[in-house]
């Protein structure tokens, strides 16, 4: 799963540091909802919660389980002037009949239960299953998630209870599963549809036979390279074959039509070679991305494009030698000048998207990668309604321990500072943060024990009394136990009972404090904006405290948002570097500044027009739109190269359009058919991919066959190269 995250980034380093200090942030959320809207404190609900805990708590993939059904409680006793805790006992009694109305009221105000363990109306309770830290890096990660999901028991029939299982691992697994199954199915469909289009377009059967015979050879060569380099699969592996299959049809169309007409393959082969090079150059720019799957995809498609071209062209050369030698003239009439089409193309290429660039948004929410009817989406939405915000937004405070006479965590006054920090954090977030789990939460919990008759806990601050109690009976023994200065048999029973909970608040070496925030799913830019606002408005004030070394944000929401930002940067970087490389190649081929400039303008107009269409339709950017950007850039330049090389060969735009115009039209239709089949997928990202691809291919044909010839007639008719 870490394939998604940018390599070598400070954000990923902080995420790993958080994992090392507090354990993994990978969790499964199991929400149990009572359809009758009765309080969850009934025998059936508690029985199901306890059955879920028993099913997963001893699993080797699980670190701990946190639920209202396995919390342990204690009371505070006082002897003389000393307050001390009693031995821990279960938070809930064995029988629901033992729960009094006073208990129910206390449960509602308990801050520990307001951290995603209990719905505010009491209609749902949750089990948070914390996974082992090393699970995420294992090759069988997704299988382990499914195995855990299968171990969770279902509610009894007729009980009125419902169980929802969600969490980032569940959504990630569902997304990859659908991407692979849909990708394989659509690959077969695209192959059949493209073949049908090529047959209707008049490509000879012997050329189609050569096309299909070339694929086992190409796949064998690529498979050998994969085995020799020991390249693992990645999340874009399912797109490698479809992209190679669809983009290689252009070579088949141009060479196959030349064979049918009895023309020499020399000129067409040269143009197809240059287009294979442009495709490889375009995808090679993806290897500059710090996102490992995109970098691997760029290398694989770049090499695959050259291999498939060499093998296919070799088979087509054999077909050409056995083809009839009679020359059949091209029957396509010369393209007429159509000023309205050219004017429309110019208007479409105006940068209208600059009027409201904020409409371009990245699809960062994994729920929107899946169809709304998918069970994983329905479970996530239902759990969000009953439990609240789930996205992890972590704030970590690093503590200086070597420059102070007293460890800050054993100083009750330090907790007043942490309370002020949490209040500033929530205030600056402006209502975005749904809940916070921190040492402050623990102190508020202690307040309910020390002063049970106070107002609801959300209305009073942490007191010195609670801080002193926590330091003496919880924090100091906790740090001593992990430092090895206190024997396990002398450990406080209270610390033993609360250790798993305290490990989520304090690092075992006492150098970090966690403020585990839960926020709703937001756009990546909004998450990063929140992190930057806290870094600018809140953190500097508290980093001046000599006890605090640094403060930073991390968590899945920050990491996924940083990935989204990097995907956008990769798209722009690929567009710029790929465009520059292709522009240089165009000039080396054309050797004319004027024609080269017109070709560049036509290609830029295509890109801008496509951006306008996507902007108007509000098609969001996503991980797959990066692949689409590079594919379309190569397709646009391919059409330009075929047209301009034909112009150089014949010295006439009309004759060039006679020769390559039908091939460009057929290749555009076959490409649109191949990419368009992805619209039949249930995945919204595949549907958007198909719409964007069809629009891009259509615009490339419009500007290369209509706008560019008109510009050449108007501005380059006197050019010697023309």
Q: In terms of Cα–Cα distance, which of 558, 606, 564, 593 is closest to 13?
A: 558
Cα distances from 583 to residues 159, 363, 604, in angstroms, run 68, 31, 11
Given a cut of 80, is residue 2 above it in pLDDT?
no
Cα distances from 626 to residues 365, 672, 681, in angstroms, run 17, 18, 19
pLDDT of residue 324: 60
- Segment 139-162 mean pLDDT: 87
Beta bridge mates, 393: 517
Given a cut of 90, is residue 536 above it in pLDDT?
yes
Q: What is the per-residue pLDDT across 175-204, written as a single tens digit (0 to 9) for each?
A: 878 877 777 777 777 778 888 888 888 888
Q: What is the per-residue pLDDT across 442-455, written as a single tens digit (0 to 9) for each?
A: 888 888 778 766 65
Given a cut of 90, is residue 538 above it in pLDDT?
yes
Q: In terms of Cα–Cα distance, which of 498, 507, 491 is closest to 449?
A: 498
pLDDT level of residue 335 (50, 70, 90 thresholds): very low
Q: What is the per-residue pLDDT across 266-302, written as a single tens digit (0 to 9) for each?
A: 778 888 888 888 888 888 888 877 778 888 888 898 9
Given a cut of 50, is residue 332 above it in pLDDT?
no
- Segment 203-230 mean pLDDT: 89
Percentage of the chain beyond pLDDT 70 is 89
pLDDT of residue 681: 79
Given a cut of 60, is residue 571 above it in pLDDT?
yes
pLDDT level of residue 153 (50, 70, 90 thresholds): very high
pLDDT level of residue 636 (50, 70, 90 thresholds): confident
Q: Is 81 exposed, middle or buried (0-12, 13-18, 19+ CB in 10 A)?
A: exposed
pLDDT of residue 6: 66
- Segment 5-25 mean pLDDT: 77
Given a cut of 50, is residue 648 above it in pLDDT?
yes
Residue-averaged pLDDT of the chain: 82
Place of tokens 């930057």: 532
Sign of CA dihedral 162, 167, 170, 174: positive
Given a cut of 60, is residue 706 above it in pLDDT?
yes
């Amino acid at each position: 799963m870490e394939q998604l995250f940018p390599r070598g980034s400070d954000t990923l380093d902080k995420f790993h540091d958080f994992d090392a200090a507090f354990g993994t942030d990978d969790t499964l959320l199991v929400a149990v909802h009572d359809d009758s809207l009765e309080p969850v404190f009934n025998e059936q609900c508690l029985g199901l919660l306890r059955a879920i805990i028993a099913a997963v708590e001893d699993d080797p993939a699980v670190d701990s389980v946190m639920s209202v059904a396995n919390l342990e409680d204690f009371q505070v006793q006082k002897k003389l002037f000393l307050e001390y805790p009693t031995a821990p006992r279960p938070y809930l009694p064995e029988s629901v009949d033992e729960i009094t109305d006073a208990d129910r009221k206390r449960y509602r105000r308990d801050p520990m239960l307001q951290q995603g363990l209990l719905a505010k109306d009491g209609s749902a309770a949750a089990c948070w299953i914390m996974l082992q830290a090393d699970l995420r890096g294992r090759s069988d990660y997704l299988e382990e998630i499914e195995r855990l999901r299968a171990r969770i028991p279902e509610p009894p029939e007729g009980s009125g209870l419902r169980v929802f299982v969600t969490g980032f691992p569940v959504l990630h697994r569902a997304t990859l599963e659908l991407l692979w199954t849909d990708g394989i199915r659509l690959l077969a469909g695209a192959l059949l549809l493209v073949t049908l289009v090529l047959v209707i377009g008049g490509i000879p059967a012997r050329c189609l036979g050569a096309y299909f015979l070339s694929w086992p050879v190409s796949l064998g060569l690529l498979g050998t390279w994969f085995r020799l380099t020991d390249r693992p699969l990645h999340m874009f592996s399912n797109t490698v074959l479809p992209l190679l299959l669809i983009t290689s049809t252009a070579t088949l169309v141009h060479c196959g039509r030349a064979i049918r007409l009895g023309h020499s393959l020399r000129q067409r082969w040269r143009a197809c070679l240059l287009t294979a090079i442009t495709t490889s150059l375009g995808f090679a720019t993806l290897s500059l991305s710090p996102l490992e799957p995109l970098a691997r995809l760029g290398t694989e498609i770049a090499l695959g494009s050259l291999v498939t071209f060499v093998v296919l062209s070799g088979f087509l050369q054999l077909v050409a030698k056995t083809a009839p030698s009679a020359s059949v003239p091209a029957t396509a009439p010369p393209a007429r000048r159509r000023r309205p089409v050219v004017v429309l193309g110019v208007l479409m290429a105006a940068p209208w998207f600059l009027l409201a660039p904020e409409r371009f948004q990245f699809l960062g929410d994994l729920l929107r990668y899946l169809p709304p009817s998918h069970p994983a989406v329905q479970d996530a939405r239902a759990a969000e309604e009953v439990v609240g915000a789930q996205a992890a937004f972590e704030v970590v405070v690093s503590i200086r321990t070597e420059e102070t006479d007293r460890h800050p965590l054993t100083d009750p006054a330090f907790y007043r500072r942490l309370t002020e920090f949490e209040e500033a954090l929530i205030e600056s977030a402006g209502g975005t943060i749904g809940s916070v789990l921190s040492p402050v939460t623990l102190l508020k919990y202690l307040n309910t024990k020390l002063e049970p008759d106070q107002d609801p806990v959300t209305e009073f601050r942490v007191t010195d009394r609670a801080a002193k109690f926590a330091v003496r009976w919880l924090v100091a023994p906790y740090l001593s136990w992990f430092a090895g200065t206190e024997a396990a048999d002398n450990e406080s029973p209270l610390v033993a009972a609360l250790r798993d909970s305290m490990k989520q608040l304090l690092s075992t070496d006492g150098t970090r404090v966690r403020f585990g925030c839960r926020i709703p799913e937001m756009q990546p830019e909004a998450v990063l904006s929140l992190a930057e606002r806290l870094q600018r408005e809140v953190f500097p004030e508290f980093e001046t405290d000599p006890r605090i070394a640094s403060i930073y944000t991390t968590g899945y929401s920050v990491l996924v948002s940083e990935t989204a930002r990097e995907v956008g940067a990769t798209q722009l970087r690929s567009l710029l570097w790929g465009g520059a490389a292709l522009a240089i190649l165009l000039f080396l081929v054309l050797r004319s500044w004027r024609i080269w400039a017109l070709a560049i303008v036509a290609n830029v107009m295509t890109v801008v027009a496509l951006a306008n269409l996507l902007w108007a339709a509000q098609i969001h950017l996503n991980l797959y739109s990066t692949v689409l950007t590079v594919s379309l850039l190569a397709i646009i330049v391919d059409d330009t190269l075929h047209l301009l090389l034909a112009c150089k060969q014949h010295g006439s735009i009309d004759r060039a359009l006679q020769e390559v115009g039908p091939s460009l039209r057929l290749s555009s239709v076959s490409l649109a058919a191949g990419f368009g089949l992805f619209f039949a997928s249930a995945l919204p990202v595949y549907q958007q991919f198909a719409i964007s691809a069809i629009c891009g291919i259509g615009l490339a044909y419009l500007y290369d066959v209509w706008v560019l010839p008109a510009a050449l007639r108007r501005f380059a008719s006197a050019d010697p190269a023309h």
